[in-house]
């Protein structure tokens, strides 16, 4: 793709580096931005900058937040003894959209994947173990993707928590093997949370 402007070429390159964005779509975005008012562009740039400078990670659950403690963790109406373990922020959003879960979360920040060089030490598993050992947690829900990486991570956590007096459960398999939580419809996901099963029983399925 030939460009008449180096600035446009650079802008297209940045947009095209985003997941799922090809060069044609990137060029369409850039040309759209060029037509906007100066203040619109400034506001857009300010928001992008704030994503790196102002966003925080909740000190309790590790989800993305505007504050040191996220809205879910700071909500006195949420059950602090019920913890749902998820891969990342997208899964928190998906479960929250069901309106059926009233506990809190623990965001791992990924899944164990030796092929990608991601091990347990790269995730917040140690923080989860510490949480269970120091707080009055009654149940851990393993709400991870029904993929090999998700199952591997769930089993690793199961082994780590086996000696603690805490109930471990897994979301019901209304979610097909290989599916990811963020793409599951709200009704199916909500029912999977409500109808969760003991994790040790889920291994035999």
Burial of 144 (0-12, 13-18, 19+ CB in 10 A): buried
Reported as a single tens digit per residue, the pLDDT across 7-57 is 999 999 999 999 999 999 999 999 999 999 999 999 999 999 999 999 999
Q: Nearest CA to 98 among 81, 80, 84?
A: 84
Residue 121 reports pLDDT greater than 50: yes
The pLDDT of residue 181: 56
What mean pLDDT is predicted for residues 151-170?
94
pTM of the model: 0.80
Structural domains of the chain sorted by starting position, each given as residue range(s) with its CATH number in brackets: 6-53 (1.10.8.420), 57-202 (3.40.1360.10)
The pLDDT of residue 177: 45
What mean pLDDT is predicted for residues 128-150?
93
The pLDDT of residue 146: 81
């Amino acid at each position: 793709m030939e460009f008449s402007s180096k600035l446009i070429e650079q802008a297209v390159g940045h947009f095209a580096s985003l997941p799922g964005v090809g060069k044609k779509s990137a060029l369409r975005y850039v040309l759209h931005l060029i037509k906007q008012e100066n203040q619109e562009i400034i506001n857009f740039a300010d928001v992008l900058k704030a994503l790196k400078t102002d966003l925080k990670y909740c000190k309790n659950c590790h989800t993305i937040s505007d504050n040191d403690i996220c809205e879910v963790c700071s909500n006195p109406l949420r059950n602090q003894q019920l913890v749902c373990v998820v891969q990342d922020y997208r899964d928190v959003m998906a479960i929250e959209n069901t309106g059926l879960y009233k506990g809190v979360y623990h965001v791992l920040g990924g899944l164990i994947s030796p092929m990608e060089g991601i091990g347990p030490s790269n995730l917040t598993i140690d923080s989860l173990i510490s949480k269970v050992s120091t707080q009055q947690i009654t149940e851990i829900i393993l709400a991870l993707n029904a993929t090999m990486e998700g199952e591997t991570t769930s089993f690793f956590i199961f082994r780590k928590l086996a000696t603690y007096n805490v109930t471990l459960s897994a979301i019901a398999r209304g979610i097909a093997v290989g599916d990811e939580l963020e793409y599951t419809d709200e009704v199916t996901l909500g029912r999977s949370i409500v109808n969760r099963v003991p994790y040790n029983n889920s291994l035999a399925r």
